[in-house]
Amino acid sequence: GASAPTLVDMPELVLHQFESSPFCDKVRRLLHYKQKPYRTHEVPPTETLVRLRRLNPTGKVPVLEHREVVISDSTEIARYLEDTFPEPPIFPTDPKARALCHILEDWADESLYFYEAWFRFGLSENAGEFSRRSSQSEPPLLRKATERALPTLMRNVLRLQGIGRKPPERVLTDFDRHLEALERWLGDGDWLVCEHLTVADVAVYSQLSCAAETAEAQGVVADHPTALAWMERVNGATSPPV
Ligand SMILES: N[C@@H](CCC(=O)N[C@@H](CS)C(=O)NCC(=O)O)C(=O)O
């Protein structure tokens, strides 16, 4: 029969993650694109309060471990991956394109993220399902409590950020405007910043595809064929190897 994997076969990259987090999706896709095998450690949400803080004081995922190196934040991880495994590149070489790449990555991580969170947790129709999904990794005794706490926790975040205080029609209009801008920006180009895929494509993709797991965001995205075709392209380039 097949022999058990030895220590030697263990990938040296470990991704501490929430399976459903768009930032973790972003890092997994960058790892696939660079063809780096990795293993994942699914972090139960309550672990971010204490245990995960030994690795990352902010208590956030993703956190990537590579030998003795620990890197947190998807933006830092992308840069680390580029420095450590330069091929294929995920950053443009031209300084001005690099600057644009950074701006678009930040737009995805710091603006689109809150739409994604709003679709999943701000809409009460979806909060139950996504809280259940996010609590699966908890030990049984904590699962129900986490599931009950998550919608309130996330809605507080959304209220403090501001998006949670807008009427739903306004948020949908804003989201539609973002997709409209994405379409115009893409025009007939294949990628957002240069002639190859960059971290900007992956960052924007991960937020939109996670949002589009809800029927409400899916409805808006489906109205934008250019964005959809680009999403197919990004997905094709960054899916796990078969
Ligand atoms: N800017 C960070 C954002 C990461 C982030 O917000 N992660 C969320 C999950 S989607 C998290 O870990 N939340 C747990 C917490 O805040 O305790 C990145 O790009 O990695």
Strand order in the sheet with 69-72: 39-42, 13-17, 63-66, 69-72
CA of 23 from ligand 1 middle (Å) equals: 7
CA of 17 from ligand 1 middle (Å) equals: 9
Q: Who's near 169: CB < 8 A, 6+ residues apart?
A: none
CA of 60 from ligand 1 middle (Å) equals: 4
CA of 176 from ligand 1 middle (Å) equals: 24
Tell me the C-alpha distance between 58 and 50, whole Å.
10
Confidence band for 241, pLDDT divided at 50, 70 and 90:
confident
Index of the ligand 1 atom closest to the CA of residue 49: 17
Q: Is the pLDDT of residue 178 over 90?
A: yes
Of 151, 111, 110, the residue nearest 134 (C-alpha):
151
pLDDT digits (tens, 9 = 90+) for 111-127: 999 999 999 999 999 99
Range 141-148 contact pairs with CB under 8 angstroms and sequence separation of 24 or more: 142/44, 142/46, 146/44, 146/45, 146/46
Domain locations in the chain as residue ranges: 12-84, 95-238
pLDDT digits (tens, 9 = 90+) for 203-212: 999 999 999 9
Strand partners for 14 = 39, 65
Q: Who's near 185: CB < 8 A, 6+ residues apart?
A: 192
Pocket (CB within 6 angstroms of ligand 1): 18, 21, 23, 48, 59-62, 73-75, 109
pLDDT digits (tens, 9 = 90+) for 183-207: 999 999 999 999 999 999 999 999 9
Topology of the domain comprising 95-238:
Glutathione S-transferase Yfyf (Class Pi); Chain A, domain 2 (1.20.1050)
Q: Is the pLDDT of residue 141 over 60?
A: yes
CATH number of this structure's domain 12-84: 3.40.30.10
User: What average pLDDT does the segment 209-217 reach?
Assistant: 98
Residue nearest to atom 19 of ligand 1 (CA): 74
Which pLDDT score, from 0 to 100, does residue 204 have? 99
